[in-house]
Amino acid sequence: MSRSHAVNSGSRTRKLRRSVEVVITAMCAALYAIGCYATAYIPSPLGFGQFRPAVVIPAFFATIFGPMPAAIGAAIGTLIADSFKHGTLYMGSLIAAVPGNFIGFYLFGYIVRRFSWTRFILASLLTLIIGNAITAFSYVILFKAVYVQALPLSLEMLTSISISLTLYWFITMLPFILLITPLLIRAVAYAMPSVVPEEVHASSLKSELPKRSFSLTMVISGASIVIIGLAMTFTPLGAAMASAAKLASIILMESICYIGGTALMVIGAIAAVKK
C-alpha cells in the first residue's frame, strides 16, 4: 500500500490517504504547539520541565486517527513550542521531548487501535509513565548533564531529579488526559461521526468510562504519589533530591505529591460512589 496509511480499528480497517494523513499530522502539531506554548512559562518546582495539560491534544488524535499522526504531530509540536520559547532551535527538546512524545503517543495510538475505554485508561497510564520517563531522563542526563554540563552530579543524583520530573508530569497530566480527552472524543463522535472509527463512535456515545477501572487508576496512582511524598518527608530521599536539584527546600515538591496524590484519590473515590 504505497499511498495510504492503514489504521486498524476492531473489525474494519480505515485507510487514510497520504495527503489526508499529512494534513491531520500538521493539525496535531500546530494545536499541540499552541497548547504547549500557552503554559510554557509555568515550570515545575525543579525549575525546568513545564506544566503541560496540552497532552490531551495528541491523545485525542491518537484515538481518532491512529498512532503515527499523533506521534509525529506531538514530536513536531513540542519542538516548535520549546524553540519558540527559547528563541532558537532548542536542543533540549530535540534530545528529550521529541523522542519522549513520539514514543509515548505512538504507544497510546497503538494500544487504542482496537478501542475500548479500558484500553484508553491503560494507554493513558503507560504513555504518561513511559513517555515522561524517556523525556525526563533524556533531558536531565543527556542534555543537562552531558550536553550543556549544567548538572555535574552523580548518576544517583541525576536519577533522583529525573524521577522527580517524571512524577511531576504524571501528577499534573493524568487528570487532564482522563477527564478532558474523553469529552473531546465524545464531542467529535457526536458532531462528526464520519471521521471517527466505528468502535470509538459506539463506545463514546453508548458507554461511559468503566467506573471501577477509572476509580482504581486514580486511587492507586494517588496513593502511590502520597507514599512518595511521605518518603521525601521522612527519609533521606527528600534531602537528596533537594541537593541534587539545588532547591532551597523540598517542601514544594512534597506539597505537590500530597496535594496532587490526594486530589487523584478524591476524584477516584467520587467516581466510585457517583451513580
Model pLDDT for residues 15-31, shown as the tens digit of each residue: 567 888 899 999 999 99
Q: Are residues 156 and 214 in the same domain?
A: no
Q: Are residues 55 and 147 in the same domain?
A: yes
Model pLDDT for residues 20-60, shown as the tens digit of each residue: 889 999 999 999 999 999 999 988 878 888 999 999 999 99
Q: How far is CA 266 from the centre of its chain?
A: 21
Give the end of a domain, one of 171, 200, 229: 200
Closest by Cα among 99, 96, 203 to 147: 96
Q: Which three cell numbers stand for residue 51?
A: 506544566
Q: Are residues 171 and 246 in the same domain?
A: no
Q: How far is the C-alpha of 29 from the C-alpha of 19, rounded, in Å?
A: 15
What residues are paired with 50 via a beta bridge?
43
Residue with cell 474494519: 12
Residue 268 has pLDDT above 80, yes or no: yes
Q: Are residues 157 and 230 in the same domain?
A: no
In sequence order, what DSSP letters do the residues of 138-198 get, joined into one string?
Answer: IIIIIIIIIIS------HHHHHHHHHHHHHHHHHHHHHHHHHTHHHHHHHHHHH-GGGS-H
Q: Are residues 216 and 196 in the same domain?
A: no
Mean pLDDT confidence for 202-227: 86
> Is 205 part of a structural domain of the chain?
no
What total of structural domains would you count in the chain?
2
Q: How far is the C-alpha of 239 from the C-alpha of 253, rounded, in Å?
A: 11
> Is 217 part of a structural domain of the chain?
yes
> Is 71 part of a structural domain of the chain?
yes
Give the end of a domain, one of 169, 200, 231: 200
| Residue 75 lies in domain | 4-200
Burial, 237: exposed, middle or buried (Cβ in 10 Å; 0-12, 13-18, 19+)? middle
Q: Are residues 117 and 229 in the same domain?
A: no
**3-state secondary structure (DSSP) of residue 17:** strand
Q: Are residues 241 and 114 in the same domain?
A: no
Q: Are residues 98 and 191 in the same domain?
A: yes
Q: Are residues 94 and 175 in the same domain?
A: yes
The DSSP symbol for 196 reads S
Closest by Cα among 73, 60, 57 to 21: 73
Confidence of residue 1 (pLDDT cuts 50, 70, 90): very low
Mean pLDDT confidence for 134-141: 96
CATH number of the domain to which 14 belongs = 1.10.1760.20
Give the end of a domain, one of 200, 224, 255: 200
Q: How far is the C-alpha of 101 from the C-alpha of 107, rounded, in Å?
A: 10
Q: Are residues 221 and 132 in the same domain?
A: no
